[in-house]
Amino acid sequence: MLKGKVAIVTGGTRGIGFEIVRKYLANGAKVVLFGSRQESVDRALQKLKEENSGWEVAGDHPCLTDAAEVERAVLAVKERFGRIDILVNNAGISQNTPLYDYTAEEFDKVIDLNVKAVFYAILPAAKIMREQGGGCIINTSSMVSISGQPAGVGYPASKFAVNGITISLARELGKDHIRVNAVAPGVTRTDMVAALPEATVKAISARIPLGRAGEPEEVANAFLYLASDLASYVTGEILSVDGASKA
């Protein structure tokens, strides 16, 4: 579905991002994953090479909250592979701090990675996409961008902003043949969720109409669809993959 396309996936070393990278590679794309540290990037690349030594995959670890570093890393992908067709902004952090315990620094940390880093990556990538005649950007939102959450207000605030970036840029960049969408996962079985006590996972699952948390691969399937030509007329969409959790 993605034969010959070149993709960047931020936060591609584990969890949902890692499954997106696998899915894209298995569908013929060349992928550069961005992680936070050299060791986690190397570990992810080794795992992928063990699965299929023919996959064209590389890694980098720019500081995503530094606009200049992100620009350098994005330009390096274009230098190496000649183009950038797909940018997936997936790296993100969440938190559950109650308002009365919040600090300004904590709020800034979430906004810096979940919002500003998305903008920093889009800036150079969109210019490259415009020059080459088009491309596609997919941001990782969350079901809390629709429902909010009862603590940790920085996280839903950041994902509401991601939706705002997505819908606005879809309108602005359509003329350049750049599609901009987001995927809004519900509770997904990544390390973050696996670390929760089984009883907590059970309680959360009981509230989900489909009766269970999602698997990272199920979320990655939405990223595959949105990146593919099957979604050639889909832009400005926030696609929920949440078992109807927020309904």
> Which residues would be at the binding site for ligand NAD (CB under 6 A)?
11, 13-17, 35-36, 40, 64, 90-94, 113, 140, 142, 185, 187-188, 190-193
Picking from 152, 157, 126, the residue whose alpha carbon sits closest to that of residue 141 is: 157
For the CB of residue 36, give the shortest distance to ligand NAD in the complex, in Å.
Answer: 4
Q: How far apart are the first and last CA of the chain?
A: 31
Picking from 235, 121, 238, 126, the residue whose alpha carbon sits closest to that of residue 182 is: 238
Is residue 24 annotated as part of the catalytic site, yes or no?
Answer: no
Q: Of 102, 155, 225, 233, which one is the catalytic site residue?
A: 155
- Provide the residue type at 98 as one letter: P
For the CB of residue 50, give the shortest distance to ligand NAD in the complex, in Å.
Answer: 18
Q: Considering the complex, state which of residue 60 and residue 85 has its C-beta at the smaller distance from ligand NAD.
A: 60
Q: Considering the complex, state which of residue 113 and residue 153 has its C-beta at the smaller distance from ligand NAD.
A: 113
Q: Are 158 and 114 in contact (CB under 8 A)?
A: yes
Alpha-carbon distance 167 to 199, whole Å? 37
Alpha-carbon distance 148 to 34, whole Å? 28
Q: Considering the complex, state which of residue 153 and residue 187 has its C-beta at the smaller distance from ligand NAD.
A: 187
Alpha-carbon distance 157 to 111, whole Å? 8
Q: Considering the complex, state which of residue 90 and residue 163 has its C-beta at the smaller distance from ligand NAD.
A: 90
For the CB of residue 234, give the shortest distance to ligand NAD in the complex, in Å.
Answer: 20
Alpha-carbon distance 172 to 32, whole Å? 26
For the CB of residue 192, give the shortest distance to ligand NAD in the complex, in Å.
Answer: 5
Known catalytic residues are 155
